Structure formats: C-alpha cells, structure tokens
Amino acid sequence: MQYVDNKYNFLKAIKTSKLQRLGRTHDGGYVVNSDAIDQCNTLITFGLGPDWSFELDYIEKNKDAEVFIYDHTVSSFPYIKDIIKYFRRFITFRATWKSVSDRIKYLSNFRSFIKHKKVNYFSEKITYPMIDKIDTDLDKVFGRILNTGEVVLKCDIDGGEYNVIDGILKYSSRIKMLIFEFHLVDNNEKNFYNSIKKIQEQFDIIHIHGNNHFQKLESGLPLILEITLINKKYAPKNPDFIYNFPIDGLDHPNNPYKEDLFFSFRE
C-alpha cells in the first residue's frame, strides 16, 4: 500500500455510516450517503456522458426525485453513427446481427432516459463566466428548480469543475451532498488545493476514490479523483478518519480490466 504525500492529508475522509454505491460497479458509479439520497428530492448532474446508471439508481431509490442534467456533449448522433457502422460491418460479414441490435438498443435506452418523466435534460455547458449561447451558470441552474428543499449535486465536467466551485458554494446551504470528479490534479495542483480548501469550509469529505483509467502521481495520489462530500450540518462533530482506499465492497475499478488504485493516508 503506497502512502500519499503528507501534503495531501487534508483529503482524508471522515468515517460515516450509511455509505452505499449508486450506479454501475465500474465507471459511472459513485459512493454516496444513503440518507442524502432518501431525503433530497432533487439531483443536479453536471456532465452525463454515455452512462446514466447513477441517475437511474437515484430515481429508483427516491421515488419523489427529479433530476436536472446539464451536458452539451451528449446526443443521439453517436448512437446512430454506431448503428450505421455496425450495420455496414454486418452486410460485409464482419459483424453479427446482435452487434447491430445491441447498438439499436443503446440508442433506444438513451432516448428513453432523456424522455423520462423525472428527467429534465439541458444541452447546455456548465461554466463561468457565461460567454456562448450554450453556457449556463449556477444561478440559472438553481433558478429552474421549483423545489426549495436540499439537493444532491454531481459534477463531472472534465476539468471545468474548477471554474464553477465558487458558483456551487454560493448555494452551499441548499446542497446536502456533493459528488465531484476532479481531473488532472497534477496540472491543476494549486487550483485543486484551493478548490478543496474552499469546499471544506462548508463540506466534509466522506469518500475518495481514484479513477484507474489514469495512473497515480509520484506523490501517491491518483491523477483523477472521485470525491463525495456531505454538508457540515450533517457530519459527525468529532469524527474518526478512513485511511485506506479503496474500500472493499463499496469501491470498484472504473476500468474493470485493470487493478484498482490503492493508496493510504498516514495516521
């Protein structure tokens, strides 16, 4: 087990009960606090990509949930393109009909999800400041939510997370749980440090996991980090810490064909 450099000890997760995994057992799944899922009827997702198992699990766990999704990069087009590609392979005897029908099913599943009665999908880019027509900031996001209760916010926008931290924290009193994927920690080390420190003024880390699609740094810290945080209002007052990751039974490798990233913090 490799120890993370002491300068990253501020990333230690506090020990809490009621952790569970939502979404797939590889890329697309996240470890969360089950109380937050049960009690927050609004989920905000920044960045969807090709997998929505987390959002579907959320709806399954909370029957009153409404989901607001922001991602300007997803559409039916890649699925249609894939169908055409595999159909051409099929008619030239380089693929089976099942490979074609699977791609048709993927398109159908995507369209069914986007049209789900509890899903509000916006083909918009979460950023700050807003420059282009497709850009949206946190004021616009929260202005669309009629429910005044607390929310869960998931942010996976490929490096854009650093630009919206201040906007997110503006609404910290309304956010019960945050789920981040922080990208390219090595190239953004100062920005990453400052962002986490800002967030920790209002939230405590309850889980951390390395994305094994990427390597670990010389410091022992994974290059890409999935971090779950709970509002300090709901965190233990005198917590113990978790020192070793991943956690057996909760964590799974993002890439199931590679070993997960193991790392420890010093006590």
Indicate the pTM of the whole model. 0.94
Confidence class for position 67, pLDDT limits 50, 70, 90: very high
Domain chopping of the chain, boundaries: 6-71+123-264, 75-116
pLDDT of residue 2: 80
Confidence class for position 186, pLDDT limits 50, 70, 90: confident
Query: If you ran DSSP here, which 8-state letter would residue 34 be given?
Result: H
Structure tokens at 236: 């233990």
pLDDT at 237 over 90: no
Confidence class for position 184, pLDDT limits 50, 70, 90: confident
CB under 8 Å to 164, separation ≥6 — which residues? Answer: 46, 126, 127, 128, 137, 138, 155, 157
Q: What angle do CA 135, 150, 229 make, to 5 degrees?
A: 80
| 126 residue type, one letter | I
State pLDDT tens for residues 29-50: 999 999 999 999 999 999 998 8
Cis amide bond preceding 129, omega within 30: yes
Q: 211 and 180 in contact (C-beta within 8 Å)?
A: no
Number of CB atoms found within 10 A of residue 37's CB: 21
Rounded to an integer, the average pLDDT of 167-175 is 98
What's the CATH number of domain 6-71+123-264, 2.160.20, 3.10.290, 3.40.50, 3.40.1620? 3.40.50
pLDDT at 1 over 90: no
